Amino acid sequence: MLGESTVESRFEALRGPALSPLVGRDEEIDLLLRRWARARSGEGQIVLLSGEPGIGKSRLAAALEEQLQAEPHLRLRYFCSPYHQDSALFPFIDQLGHAAGFVHDDGPAARLEKLEAVLARAAPPDEDVALLADLLSLPASERHPLPNLSPQRKKETTLERPDLARAARSHSRVCPQPAGAAHRDPTARSSSRPGPASPG
């Protein structure tokens, strides 16, 4: 093993960049595109793709992404893992690290700079930056002092924020794609309040 893979999902790791043709799923794609059209018009939508492993859920999501290539949107991807069920909020932490562009060799100072850069798009209050930095196990900063809270209150305050992933929202539409939900940690399960895909 040389290091952590940069491939984001098990689907991509198994199949690589070349996707097989999607056959017999026109009805499902049409449904997803109709829901997307409603979201674009301001009607928040949520679509749940569920089923046994291997039936094509990830391939269908990839096909939707292909259809949306020409439209302004941001895809937020959250991947749960059986290896991180005891790591609170792992899917959110992992997605935020990807959005900030963290690499394995980054030290804490470099990661904090990258986090500040990606958060600058949303211009959050200093306390939000401090809470997210703490969530990513980054040291406290003079620029963004961490509030003096108990661990429980800090967790509650973090979860009260309107969107843990808002730092990545630089486009006008959001298309979240959670995967592996059966392996969410207890905190992620309790904090999962799906919101609509809507103008940002």
In this prediction, residue 1 carries a pLDDT of 55
Angle at 79 between CA 134 and CA 115, to 5 degrees: 30
Q: Which residue would you say has higher pLDDT here, 116 or 200?
A: 116
In this prediction, residue 29 carries a pLDDT of 92
| Helices of type H across the chain | 10-15, 26-40, 57-67, 90-100, 108-119, 126-135, 151-160, 186-191
Q: Could you give the CA distance from residue 129 to residue 123 in angstroms, rounded to a whole number? A: 9
Question: Is 90 exceeded by the pLDDT of residue 82?
Answer: no
Residue with tokens 């049409």: 30
**Per-residue b/e over 134-165, b at no fewer than 16 CB within 10 Å?**
bbbebeebeebebeeeeeeebbeebeeeeebb
Task: Report the range of poorest mean pLDDT among 116-125, 154-163, 186-195.
Answer: 186-195
In this prediction, residue 34 carries a pLDDT of 95
| Helices of type H across 68-200 | 90-100, 108-119, 126-135, 151-160, 186-191
Question: Is 60 exceeded by the pLDDT of residue 177?
Answer: no
Mean pLDDT of 6-35: 73
Instruction: With beta carbons less than 8 A apart as the criterion, state whether 122 and 165 touch.
Output: no
In this prediction, residue 162 carries a pLDDT of 58
Q: Could you give the CA distance from residue 98 to residue 92 in angstroms, rounded to a whole number? A: 10
Question: Is 70 exceeded by the pLDDT of residue 167?
Answer: no
Render pLDDT for 35-68 as a digit per residue (tens, 0 to 9): 999 998 989 888 888 888 888 888 888 899 888 9
Q: Which residue would you say has higher pLDDT here, 88 or 132?
A: 132
In this prediction, residue 2 carries a pLDDT of 57
In this prediction, residue 200 carries a pLDDT of 38
Torsion of Cα atoms, 188 then 191 then 195 then 200, to 10°: -80
Q: Point out which residues pair with 175 in neighbouring strands.
A: 75
In this prediction, residue 37 carries a pLDDT of 93
User: 100 CB contacts (<8 Å, ≥6 apart)?
Assistant: 111, 114, 115, 117, 118, 167
In this prediction, residue 4 carries a pLDDT of 58
One-letter amino acid at 188 equals: A
Indicate yes or no: pTM above 0.75. no
